[in-house]
Structure formats: structure tokens, C-alpha cells
């Protein structure tokens, strides 16, 4: 047996012993609360257009941002100040877009966080204050009002010959900066049936969730409809309260089942794989041709009495490595992909070569998994 094969087999044997000692049953289970969500119980995206004031000369230039000028004039007119036709040159104002997520069942009067992003050519939002900004939903209705002092994580500073910027000074946040004015109606308590939406659709996981719920309740109340949906009907013993039923089942532990998949990010060399990925019997060899050219020029200094000239004598060394010592190794059918990767790591194969090997094994039909390249 070759040296390549010997090291590879020893690495696989060591990996098999380590994986056999790891616990599998308890670590693989997850709560139904983490595997699925109640259909209809979700966040709603809000957006609004606002004005930030109080900037220290880092706001929009009104000549390049006409929308900022128009907004400033309209705001001042509502305050009783007429600036039509005036030449305004203030740089302390910036037009911004304000975004927020309205949580499910957010009651009127509660507060939510908002994010602010500069819309014009403002340099920084540091020290600014957002004026009253209505936040609208997809239906055009106003659901919250935002206002407050901005918290900016990034900063920018520059002098005559140098500048430094850290983070993004044109983005900011306001903690609890918006007040909810309108509630999204969703009468969960009066419903007689709900649907559980799986975050990772899978037939086996949906059936396991339904079986776990039915075992707890004692009657067939849960039914898998498709890989992403489990229909849950309210049993009579819960007295018409669907919230009690959801509270009881969301803590149930279920072992999710996921398809065998290998995700490869070519740009960064990242490989992510599932535990059920398997490799059929295949022979693997890895090698490349490397040519190294080294320049070591030397200076030839003549004898001072000879009257010669000083010259640079080139010295070039060319080395060729064709990886001829590497041999082909056999990967048995029972080897998992995790053990295969550990064996390749033990041989010093980097992520780039590993990606190529995995793609070649898939092309040979020996990789029993789906490869997704980002």
C-alpha cells in the first residue's frame, strides 16, 4: 500500500472512532417552536421618508439634492415660515429613508426600533435628530410614527492630506424610536384550526411533527398537508382556546430530517455539508504541476588593477514538481463525506483542491448528495 493510501486510511479510522463516541440522539432534536412558525403570525415591513436635522455641516448639499430642498421648504411652511425663492445653503439637513419591522400582535402605544439610511450626498448622520416620520405598510396605511436622536456606529474624519472612515456613518438606528399607532388585526384566539409552516420544508420532518403532536394530545389533530405545512385542528378538550394548544406543542422535541447537500462558496473556499452525505466506492488522486523560478543575481567585481567593469551575472534556478510521489487511493462505499474530508485534511489538501475533488466525485456519480454552488 502506498504512503498516500496508508495516511488516508489511518485518518479515516481515527475519524470513525471520534464520530462513534459523539452523542447523536439528543443533539439532533429541536423544538417544534424552532422548526415551524404559525402561518399568519409574522412581522410586517414599514418604510417612511424623513428629515434629519442638527448635523454639523455633514448633511446634503441642497444644490445636489433637490428633494432635500423641497422637503425642507415644505416643513418650514407647515411651521409658518415662508422660504420660497430664498437661496438656502444649509448643510445641516439630510433626507433619509426610515425602515422598521412591525412585530406580530404589536399593540397600539408600544415602541419598536427603526433604522435610518441617508438618501442624498450627506457625509455623516452623527449628532442628527430625526423629525416626525410616518411609517407606512405595503397597503399605504400609517402604522407607526418615528422620531428621536440618532445613534451612529460609524464615523468619518479627514484633514488636508488624509482621511479615515470606520463603519458606515450614513446609517443609524434609534432604539424604541417609533410609536405604534395602528394594530394589525389577527384574531388567533378565535380560530379553530391553524397551519404550521416549516422553515425547512421536508416530508419526513412534517410527518414527525404531526406524529409528535398526535401522541401528546391523544387524538389525530395534526395532519401533514405538504412538505412545508402541517394542519392543526383544535381538539374539544382545549375548550376553544387555540393558544393553549400552541403552548403545549411548541416545546415538543422532534428530530428534523434534511436532504443530503453540499454547499460550496467558490469565492471564499467555504464548504458546508450535511451529515447524511455519503460517497460510493471511488478512487481519488490529487496532484498538480508546480514550476518555481528563482532569481539570485550575483555581482562580478573585477580586479582593481585589471581595469575591467563591474557586471551583474544572472543566476536562475528552475524547479519542477509534478507531484509524482502522490498515488491514487481507494475510498470505500461506507465512508461518509465527513470522514472523507478529514482524510483529505490529514493529507494537507486545502479548501480549493477539496472543492475540486468533491465536484469531480459528483461528476463521477459517486457522491450521493446535491451540490449547490453559491
Return the domain boundaries, the chain: 3-24+261-287+319-373, 30-40+187-254, 44-180
Residue 174, number of CB atoms within 10 A of its CB = 22
Extract the C-alpha cell encoding 320. Answer: 519542477
Tens-digit pLDDT string for the chain (374 aa): 444 444 444 444 444 433 334 444 445 788 999 999 988 888 999 999 999 999 988 888 888 888 888 888 888 888 888 877 777 778 899 999 999 999 998 999 999 999 999 998 898 899 999 999 999 999 999 999 999 999 988 766 666 667 777 778 899 999 999 999 998 888 887 788 889 999 989 999 999 999 999 999 888 889 999 999 999 998 888 887 888 888 889 889 999 988 888 888 877 778 887 777 777 777 766 665 455 555 567 766 676 666 667 777 776 665 655 555 555 555 555 566 667 666 666 666 677 777 787 888 788 887 778 888 87
Reduced to 3 states (helix: H, G, I; strand: E, B; else coil), residue 222 is strand
Q: Show the cell assigned to 251.
A: 416545546
The top-level CATH class assigned to 30-40+187-254 is alpha beta
Buried b (16+ CB within 10 A) or exposed e, 200-215: eebeebbbbbbebbee
User: What's the rounded Cα separation, in Å, for the pair 66 and 90?
Assistant: 13
pTM: 0.67
Amino acid at each position: 500500500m502506498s504512503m498516500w493510501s496508508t495516511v488516508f486510511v489511518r485518518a479515516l479510522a481515527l475519524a470513525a472512532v471520534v464520530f462513534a463516541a459523539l452523542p447523536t440522539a439528543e443533539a439532533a432534536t429541536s423544538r417544534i417552536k424552532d422548526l415551524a412558525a404559525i402561518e399568519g403570525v409574522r412581522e410586517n415591513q414599514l418604510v417612511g421618508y424623513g428629515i434629519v436635522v442638527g448635523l454639523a455641516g455633514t448633511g446634503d448639499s441642497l444644490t445636489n439634492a433637490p428633494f432635500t430642498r423641497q422637503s425642507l421648504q415644505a416643513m418650514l411652511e407647515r411651521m409658518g415660515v415662508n422660504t420660497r425663492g430664498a437661496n438656502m445653503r444649509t448643510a445641516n439637513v439630510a433626507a433619509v429613508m426610515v425602515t422598521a419591522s412591525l412585530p406580530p400582535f404589536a399593540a397600539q402605544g408600544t415602541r419598536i426600533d427603526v433604522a435610518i439610511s441617508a438618501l442624498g450626498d450627506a457625509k455623516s448622520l452623527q449628532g442628527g435628530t430625526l423629525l416626525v416620520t410616518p411609517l407606512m405598510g405595503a397597503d399605504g396605511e400609517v402604522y407607526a410614527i418615528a422620531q428621536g436622536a440618532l445613534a451612529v456606529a460609524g464615523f468619518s474624519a479627514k484633514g488636508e492630506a488624509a482621511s479615515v472612515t470606520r463603519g458606515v456613518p450614513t446609517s443609524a438606528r434609534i432604539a424604541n424610536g417609533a410609536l405604534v399607532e395602528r394594530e394589525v388585526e389577527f384574531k388567533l384566539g378565535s380560530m379553530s384550526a391553524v397551519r404550521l409552516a416549516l422553515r425547512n420544508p421536508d416530508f419526513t420532518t412534517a410527518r414527525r411533527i404531526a406524529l409528535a403532536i398526535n401522541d401528546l394530545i391523544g387524538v389525530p389533530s395534526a395532519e401533514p398537508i405538504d412538505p412545508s405545512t402541517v394542519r392543526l385542528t383544535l381538539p374539544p378538550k382545549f375548550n376553544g382556546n387555540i393558544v393553549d394548544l400552541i403552548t403545549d406543542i411548541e416545546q415538543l422535541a422532534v428530530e428534523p430530517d434534511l436532504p443530503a447537500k453540499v454547499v460550496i462558496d467558490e469565492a471564499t473556499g467555504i464548504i458546508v455539508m450535511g451529515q447524511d452525505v455519503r460517497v460510493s466506492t471511488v478512487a481519488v488522486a490529487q496532484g498538480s504541476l508546480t514550476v518555481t523560478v528563482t532569481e539570485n543575481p550575483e555581482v562580478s567585481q573585477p580586479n582593481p588593477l585589471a581595469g575591467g567593469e563591474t557586471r551583474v551575472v544572472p543566476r536562475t534556478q528552475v524547479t519542477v514538481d509534478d507531484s509524482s510521489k502522490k498515488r491514487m487511493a481507494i475510498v470505500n462505499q461506507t465512508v461518509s463525506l465527513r470522514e472523507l474530508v478529514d482524510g483529505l485534511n490529514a493529507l494537507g489538501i486545502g479548501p480549493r483542491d477539496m472543492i475540486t475533488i468533491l465536484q469531480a466525485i459528483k461528476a463521477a456519480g459517486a457522491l450521493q448528495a446535491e451540490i449547490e454552488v453559491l
